[in-house]
């Protein structure tokens, strides 16, 4: 499979979407990259993290072996894009893992270092041969300040020098997304949070502008940092949210939200063969403006579930819509509490 490489149609416009096996690959904006619709996220399993410096943790040996196995499993299923944080010690293991099939994998790297960004990219390019996607985070009000533009200029030069194939940003703030479209020359893609609950915000200014401009769109947090697991009482006992302590089905919440929870439970019972997470992934897969959904996966079961959801992604069924609507209503009643503590500000951002 050469999908991670250059895909050049024999004639006419580049194809937008390719299906191969159970996987779908969509062109990333106007680049020649075709990431898989399901991509492997950078966040690693907190249960296996050990502190290595002040404010910094890495996976222990067992955790690393598990992650390597999960990434390899995902690649075997046709996932071709893997996101990795250097600060979580994931560059070297990933480089080793993908070396035998480097031309078939899109390596997505992220800048979260004090190091000069140009040097950070060079480090990644040296390790991986080249970097397929490279992005940096944009926080509130920073997209056009001097520092961001400095970093962006360095990214553009790295792309011009052939070290990076696509450059982008990740941000949670819609106003910054809109500004980035007009201010960041050569922007190839944006990582932005998108799931069935945040979709209510509809990004009315950003999405039409991004689509018109041909900027690639990649959904991050399709399962809201795992919070959506908590909405499904049928979730496996070991299926835990990424970093949150939402206990939707605790007795306290059941008392606060009896009607809404009952409705959700009822709709879920009409999805006997599907989890709410799978319906949530299918919601994201069905948005044809997205090139990929990047999600953290911490066990083989999650990889398989997200992959299986892909197999029937085309249209959401009525029952799935009903379940997602019920879950969204519960989230609205809960307010920011449905999200992990560190991300509750997202609710304020969108006012959903």
Partner 1 sequence: MGRLSLSLTLILAAAAGAAAAAQQPTPELGQAGPCARCHVSSVLEWGLSAHQKVGTDCVACHGASHGHVIDERNNVKPERIPRGAAIAALCETCHANGCPKTKQTASCQTCHHPHALLDPNKGRAVQDQWVKEANGKLEAFNRYMAEGDRLVKEGSFPSARDAFRQAVEQIPGDRRAVARLGMCERRIDPQLAGFEIVGSEFDPETGLPRRVKVSGTAIEMVLVPAGDSDMGSDRWKDSAPVHTVQVDAFYLGKFELTQGQWKALMGANPSQYAGRPDSDRLPVERVSWDDCQTFVRTLNGRVPGGGFRLPTEAEWEYAARAGSANPPAHDELLRSAWFRENTASGADAAADSVPLESYAPKPVGSRQPNRWGLYDMLGNVWEWTSSASRPYPFDAGDGRESETATGLRVLRGGSFVDSAESLDPAMRHAERSDRRFRWNGFRLARGVPASVPPAATKK
Please say which residue, 150 or 348, places its beta carbon nearer to partner 1: 150
Binding residues for partner 1, rule CB under 8 A, total 19
Please say which residue, 83 or 151, places its beta carbon nearer to partner 1: 151
Q: How far is the CB of 115 from partner 1 (least distance, A)?
A: 4
- Closest C-alpha among 106, 173, 124, 118 to residue 144: 173
Contact string 325-344 vs partner 1 (x = CB under 8 A): --------------------
Q: Give the footprint of partner 1 on residues 162-201 (CB under 8 A).
A: 162, 185
- Closest C-alpha among 39, 37, 49 to residue 242: 49
3-state helix, strand, coil in the chain (%, to 5): 45, 15, 40
How far, in Å, CA of 319 to CA of 298, rounded?
Answer: 28
The verdict on 118 binding partner 1 (CB under 8 A) reads yes
**Using the rule CB under 8 A, which residue among 57, 104, 112, 122 binds partner 1?**
122
Please say which residue, 89 or 296, places its beta carbon nearer to partner 1: 89
DSSP string, 68-109: HHHHHHHHHHT--EEEE-TTTT-HHHHHHHHGGGGGG-EEEE
The verdict on 5 binding partner 1 (CB under 8 A) reads no
How far, in Å, CA of 39 to CA of 24, rounded?
Answer: 11
Ordered alpha helix ranges (H), 194-312: 206-213, 251-256, 258-269, 276-285, 300-311
Of 160-168, 204-212, 233-241, 284-292: span binding partner 1 (CB under 8 A): 160-168
The verdict on 62 binding partner 1 (CB under 8 A) reads no
**Using the rule CB under 8 A, which residue among 42, 82, 84, 154 binds partner 1?**
154
Contact 275, 234 (CB under 8 A): yes
Q: Which stretches of the chain bind partner 1, using CB under 8 A? A: 113-120, 122, 149-150, 153-154, 156-157, 160-162, 185
């Amino acid at each position: 499979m050469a999908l991670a490489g250059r895909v050049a149609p024999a004639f006419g416009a580049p194809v937008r979407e390719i299906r191969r096996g159970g996987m779908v690959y969509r062109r990333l904006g106007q680049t020649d990259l075709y990431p898989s619709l399901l991509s492997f996220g950078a966040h690693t399993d907190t249960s296996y993290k050990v502190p290595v410096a002040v404010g910094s943790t890495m996976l222990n040996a067992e955790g690393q072996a598990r992650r390597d196995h999960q990434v390899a499993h995902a690649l075997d299923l046709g996932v071709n894009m893997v996101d990795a944080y250097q600060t979580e010690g994931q560059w070297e293991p990933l480089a080793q893992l993908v070396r035998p099939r480097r031309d078939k994998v899109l390596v997505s790297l992220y800048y979260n270092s004090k190091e000069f960004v140009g040097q950070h990219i060079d480090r990644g390019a040296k390790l991986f041969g080249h970097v397929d996607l490279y992005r940096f985070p944009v926080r509130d009000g920073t997209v056009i300040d001097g520092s961001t533009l400095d970093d962006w200029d360095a990214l553009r030069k790295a792309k011009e020098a052939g070290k990076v194939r696509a450059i982008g940003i990740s941000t949670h703030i819609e106003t910054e997304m809109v500004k980035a479209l007009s201010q960041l020359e050569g922007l190839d893609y944006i990582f932005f949070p998108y799931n069935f609950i945040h979709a209510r915000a509809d990004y009315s200014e950003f999405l039409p502008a991004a689509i018109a401009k041909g900027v690639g769109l990649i959904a991050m947090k399709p399962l809201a940092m795992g919070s959506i697991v908590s909405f499904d009482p049928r979730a496996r006992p070991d299926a835990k949210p990424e970093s949150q302590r939402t206990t939707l089905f605790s007795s306290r919440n059941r008392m606060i939200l009896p009607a809404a929870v009952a409705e959700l439970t009822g709709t879920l019972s009409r999805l006997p063969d599907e989890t709410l997470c799978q319906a949530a992934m299918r919601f994201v897969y069905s948005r044809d403006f997205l090139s990929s959904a990047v999600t953290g996966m911490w066990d083989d079961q999650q990889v398989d579930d997200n992959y299986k959801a892909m197999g029937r992604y085309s249209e959401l069924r009525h029952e799935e819509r009903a379940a997602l609507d019920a879950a969204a209503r519960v989230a609205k009643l809960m307010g920011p509490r449905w999200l992990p503590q560190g991300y509750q500000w997202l609710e304020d951002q969108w006012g959903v």
